[in-house]
Structure 1
Amino acid sequence: MLDKKKTKSDIIERIYNSTKIDLKDVRLVADLFLEEIKGALMSGKSVELRGFGTFEIRERKGRARARNPKTGETVSVKDHAVVAFRAGKELKNSVWDLSDSLSGEKKEK
């Protein structure tokens, strides 16, 4: 599978090269976009990016007996919130098509 990750800086650079908008402006818009998503999540709202996916906060129940993987120590974990991402239909289909081309097979959707 593909093992190279793409960072925020890589994406900003790509947008800059594609649009020739000033690099500082591209960086500012990217930061504001991410802050807007974070702010919505922090206020309890989900964020839907149609065709891409939805970010939302989910409650995860705590556990009385969890294990710290570093130390092996048994610890208790309180109820807590986590960020979840649910991929949209277009993104799912694109990834499905990618897996077809990587494996050389056709799979049913």
Structure 2
Amino acid sequence: MTKKSTKASAKAAPAAEPAPKAEAASAKSTKVAKTQLVEQVAQKTGLTKKQADQAVNAFMEIVVRGVQKGQSVGLPGLGTFSVRETAARTGVRPGTSERIQIPAGKKVAFKAASTLKGALSDPE
């Protein structure tokens, strides 16, 4: 009888395992996806998911357009997006060790607000 109960419990265990793995994976995830962001906006504001999606899209579009124009975009409590100039420099091509000239350009920079930095040290 012990063999049958062992086999039965062994068969039941794999069916129960996927759920904890899924929960563990979502708990360990370090990225908030856009769909999760839309869901949270909908919950906090009482908007429908479609309306929240439109609001999130509009917000992101405004931030991107501001940065494209070379403007700094400040988000109180979060930080500031800005465009920074990069100088021309000499680099090394990986694998061949060939010296190459990297032209000057622009990059997007983000400086976190002090309130966000403070919130990182305080657990919820």
Identify if the C-alpha distance between structure 1 residues 63 and 30 changes in structure 2 by more than 3 Å, giving closer, same or farther. same
What is the alpha-carbon distance in structure 1 between the residues aligned to residue 57 and residue 34 of structure 2?
Answer: 9
Structure 1's unaligned 5+ residue stretches are 102-109
Alignment of 1:7-46 (within 5 A): 7-46=33-72
Distance 1:36 1:82 in 2: 18
Report if the CA contact (8 A) 1:57-1:84 is conserved. Answer: yes
- TM normalised by structure 1 equals 0.75
Paired-residue identity, %: 27
Residue 122 (structure 2) aligned to one of 67, 73, 97: 97
Instruction: Report the alpha carbon displacement of residue 73 of structure 1 after superposing the two structures with TM.
Output: 5.3
Give TM-score scaled by structure 2 length. 0.67
**Of Structure 1 and Structure 2, which has the larger fraction of its residues in helix?**
2
User: Based on CA coordinates, which of the two structures has the bigger radius of gyration?
Assistant: 2
Structure number with the bigger relative contact order (C-alpha 8 A, sep ≥ 6) is 1
Aligned residues: 96
- Give the letter for the 1:91 counterpart: L
Distance (whole Å) between structure 2 residues aligned to residue 22 and residue 73 of structure 1? 55
